[in-house]
A = this chain, B = another copy of it.
Amino acid sequence: MSKISKVAIVGGTHGNEFSGIYLIKKWQQQPQLLARASLQVETVFANPKAHAENKRYIDADLNRQFSAQSLADYDLANYEQSRAKALHQQLGPKANPNMDLVIDLHNTTSNMGPTLILLEQTPFYKQLAAYVKMQMPEAVIFLEEAEDDMAQHRFLASCGKYGVLIEVGPQPQSALRQDILEQMERMTGYILDFVDLYNQQAVPELPKLLEAFLYLDTITLPMDEQGERLAMVHQHVQDNDFKPLNPGEPLFRTFNGEDIYYEGNKTVYPAFINEAAYYDNNLAMSFLDKVYIEVN
C-alpha cells in the first residue's frame, strides 16, 4: 500500500456553485482546519473567471475537458480548454500525478443531499465511501459509469491518482446556503480523516456491504422537431432524487397537461432531477441502479 500524501481540494470548477468556492476561501484563511498528520493538503480555485462572471463556465463546461485526447489537442484553446491543460499540469499529469487524491467540490440544484461520487470501484474508494457513510449516514454514494481507461475520463478529479466529487444540493446557482455548505464541509473533513487513518493503517472496522447508486443513463426532456420543450419533469418525480421510480409511474407533464409515464421495465433511482445546469442540453435527469457493493 502506497500512502496518499498529497491532496488537492478543488472549488469553483463551476463558477456559480458557491459552497466549494466559499469553503476554499475559508480554508485559505484557516488552513489548520484541513491539517491532518500524514497529509499535505492544498486548495485550488479551478475557474475564477467564470465565478467573476457569476456563470457555470465562460466557453465550455470545465468538468468535461480532462480526457487525455482533449488535453493533448492544442487546437482546443478556449478558456476552459486552456484552464484544463493548466490544471492538469498542476494536479496531474494523469500518467504520474502530483496529487494522490483530488476532491472536487460541486453543488446541484437537485435534492440530492450530500453525495459522494466515485470515479472507480477499487478497494480504496470502497473503504473511503464506507467510512464516509459510517460517519454521515445521510451521505449518498454515487458510482460513476466504469471507464475502461481513466486516462479518457473527462472529469477534473481524474487528474489525481484517486479522484472523488462531493456534490451537495439542493442549492440554487449563485446562492450560498448554510446547511449545504456545512454538509460539504463535514464530508470533506471525513474524507481527510479517512485518508489519514488509511496512511496510518488505522482504518476502523467498516461495514462489509455498502448501499450505492450506479449510473445507468441520462434522460432528455420531450422535445418537438423545432427543439422546443414539450414537457417538464413531473412533480411525482421532482425532489425525489435516489427514490425508486417504477415502470408506469409519471415522469413528465406536458404543457398541455398530459402525463408521460416511465416506460422502462425495471425500477430505477433518478438523480440530478431537473438540475438547472443541464437545461442547455435539455437533460431531465439521470437514471441509476441501486446496488450493494462489497467493501474489502
Residues of A within 8 A of B (CB): 22, 25-26, 29-30, 54, 109, 170, 172-179, 181, 228-229, 232-235, 238, 253, 255-256, 274-277, 279-280
Contact = CB atoms under 8 A, between A and B. Distances in A.
B274 A176 contact: yes
23 contacts: A22-B232, A30-B256, A109-B172, A109-B175, A170-B172, A172-B173, A173-B174, A174-B277, A175-B276, A175-B279, A176-B232, A176-B274, A177-B233, A177-B235, A177-B274, A178-B232, A178-B233, A178-B234, A178-B235, A178-B238, A178-B253, A179-B235, A179-B238
Given A179-B235, A255-B22, A174 B29 contact: no
Q: Give how many copies assemble into the complex.
A: 2
Nearest to A235: B178
Nearest to A253: B178
A236 to B, nearest CB: 9
Given A174-B277, A178-B232, A178-B234, 17 more contacts: A25-B255, A26-B255, A29-B255, A54-B279, A172-B276, A173-B276, A174-B279, A175-B274, A175-B276, A175-B279, A176-B233, A177-B232, A177-B233, A177-B274, A178-B238, A178-B253, A179-B235
Contact of A177 (B173, B176, B238, B277): B238
Contacts of A170: 172
Nearest to A255: B26
Contacts of A25: 228, 255
Nearest to A173: B173
Contacts of A275: 175
A235 B171 CA distance: 13
Contacts of A179: 235, 238
Contacts of A279: 54, 174-175
A26 to B, nearest CB: 5
Nearest to A26: B255
A228 B275 CA distance: 28
A229 B275 CA distance: 27
